[in-house]
């Protein structure tokens, strides 16, 4: 099988590269390295199974030969990144998704769109089911990502309805693991690096806002299962265990033996107060649910960041 992964040099994308290489597939990665890093796929650069194309998915380009599966993960994914690259983020969600769907149609392949829990915005329904339409500010600073992904979902669904393109949509909830960038602004790498340096933890708001954290191996399992199905509607993939930011901070301080205090900053505009997936559909359609607890996953990620210091 020949697989194309956009954003394949990113955090989740590079773990998907590992998975499909291990499965004996030929893997083509397209990445412009705005947020991805070549070191994430360096172990595959000399492999005959692997091809790296340094390009922007918004540009028109051709992939020679057959393709069976396209995993469209290209996009800045952390608030720091998509607020820094607002236009690039929206172009990737619109033009980039359109280009990938056109390639999927031409190759008679299947495309998995990596969407996000951010399509739910600051949710008024809790936990969030796939049938919830969300509470998104369409002109707020986060809209470049939130509305971009909502558009990408709508375009993907339209290609499925009009052209019969084989598509699936995975709504990814907060994921953590090895290869996260130290300065990408997401809470777990931020807290870990502050703990290892014994610096005060930066907490936005009062720290009572919640998130649900899925370890990367569980996320890869969910995504690859979704890629094998013929199910076209969105599927939440995430860990339904919910934690406040203060709880996560204390867990990381304990594991890192840090006695640092907390530095509280104003909550960013439109930042969700609660986030927790209903994964009933993932259980029913994919036979999937997460296996790695936050306690176990944090130990592995902390060890990884320690080795990199």
Active centre residues (catalytic): 145
CA distance 255 to 192: 9
Segments in the chain forming alpha helices (H)? 11-22, 79-84, 86-91, 97-107, 143-163, 187-196, 216-227, 245-256, 280-281, 294-308
Q: Both tokens of residue 116?
A: 């996000």
C-beta of residue 118 within 8 angstroms of C-beta of residue 149: yes
Q: At what angle do helices 294-308 and 245-256 cross, to 10 degrees?
A: 60
Longest pairwise C-alpha distance within the chain: 58
> Looking at residue 206, what DSSP letter applies?
T
C-beta of residue 210 within 8 angstroms of C-beta of residue 274: yes
Provide the pairing of β-strand 110-116 with 69-72: parallel
Neighbours of 107 (CB within 10 A): 18
Residue found by looking up tokens 């956009």 in the block? 6
265: part of which helix (H) or strand (E)? strand 262-265
Using DSSP, state whether 7 is helix, strand or coil: coil
């Amino acid at each position: 099988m020949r697989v194309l992964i956009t954003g394949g040099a990113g955090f989740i994308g590079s773990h998907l590269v590992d998975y499909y290489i291990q499965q004996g597939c030929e893997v083509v990665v397209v990445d412009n390295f705005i947020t991805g890093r070549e070191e994430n796929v360096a172990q595959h650069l000399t492999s005959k199974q692997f091809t790296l194309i340094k390009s922007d998915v918004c540009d028109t380009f051709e992939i020679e030969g057959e393709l069976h599966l396209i995993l469209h993960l290209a996009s800045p994914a952390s608030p720091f990144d998509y607020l820094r690259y607002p236009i690039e983020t929206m172009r990737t969600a619109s033009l980039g998704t359109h280009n990938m769907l056109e390639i999927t149609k031409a190759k008679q392949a299947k495309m998995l769109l990596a969407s996000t829990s951010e399509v739910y915005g600051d949710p008024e329904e809790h936990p969030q089911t796939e049938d919830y339409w969300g509470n998104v500010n369409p002109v707020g600073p986060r809209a470049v990502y939130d509305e971009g992904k909502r558009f990408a979902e709508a375009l993907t669904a339209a290609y499925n309805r009009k052209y019969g393109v084989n598509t699936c949509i995975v709504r990814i909830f907060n994921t953590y693991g090895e290869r996260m960038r130290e300065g990408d602004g997401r809470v777990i790498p931020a807290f870990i690096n502050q703990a290892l340096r014994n610096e005060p933890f930066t907490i936005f708001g009062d720290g009572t806002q919640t998130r649900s954290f899925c370890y990367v191996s569980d996320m890869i399992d969910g995504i690859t299962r979704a890629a094998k199905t013929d199910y076209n509607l969105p599927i939440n993939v995430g860990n339904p265990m919910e934690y406040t930011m203060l709880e996560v901070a204390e867990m990381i301080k304990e594991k890192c033996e840090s006695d640092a205090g907390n530095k509280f900053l104003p909550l960013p505009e439109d930042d969700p107060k609660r986030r927790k997936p209903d994964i009933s559909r993932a259980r029913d359609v994919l036979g999937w649910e997460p296996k790695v607890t936050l306690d176990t996953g944090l130990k592995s990620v902390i060890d990884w960041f320690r080795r990199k210091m």
